[in-house]
Amino acid sequence: MRQWQVWAGAVLVMGLSGCESVQRMAQNIPGAEHIPGLSSEGPVEATVPRQVPFPVETYAALSKTGTATIKGRLAYQLTSGQTVYGNREKVSIAPATEYSAEAADKALAGQRVEPADPRAQAYTHMTTTDANGYFTATGIPAGTFYVAGTVALPNGQGRSPFILKQVRVKEGGSVNVTLSR
């Protein structure tokens, strides 16, 4: 079975849910392409254009850095009931905007949306988990973010489905997210 088939599915907390391939979600959420295993492997599919153009003003109004912290633990529960924790895995933290929400909605509906505008990358924060799946990202501005990652499965069985949660953090605040599925 190809790795991309194993990755079917995504969870979006706060109102969005459904299934979709990791590659589709990686193309839609800024910063997710930096998560290991989220390459463009697999069949080439037609992309649909974004209906929401890159909102220059929206992103210009966002801060790139701040004093907030987002921390948590990345984990995936196998069908056997065993929990596998992200061991040195990348976690992407991207601002939730109308631009990224449209992409998430379309991807969850089974459509492959054209890649995210490169300007969105300047607002995306990356961190890495420790050997037990814990991560901490500092210097985050206040706002609402999509926090995303995948976990390497045991015995070289590929990667977990894409795990995505939405969180809100205040300036100077800290939020703890259980990034699990």
- Which residues are CB-contacts of 176 (< 8 A; sequence separation ≥ 6)? 71, 72
Identify the pLDDT of residue 34: 52
Query: What CATH code is assigned to 65-180?
Result: 2.60.40.1120
Give percent above pLDDT 90 in the chain.
51
Identify the pLDDT of residue 42: 42
pLDDT lower than 50: segments of the chain? 1-27, 37-44
Identify the pLDDT of residue 61: 96
Rounded Cα gap, residues 115 and 27, in angstroms: 5
pTM of the model: 0.74
CB 8 within 8 A of CB 161: yes
- Residue ranges per domain, the chain? 65-180
Identify the pLDDT of residue 33: 56
Partnered with residue 162 across adjacent β-strands are 10
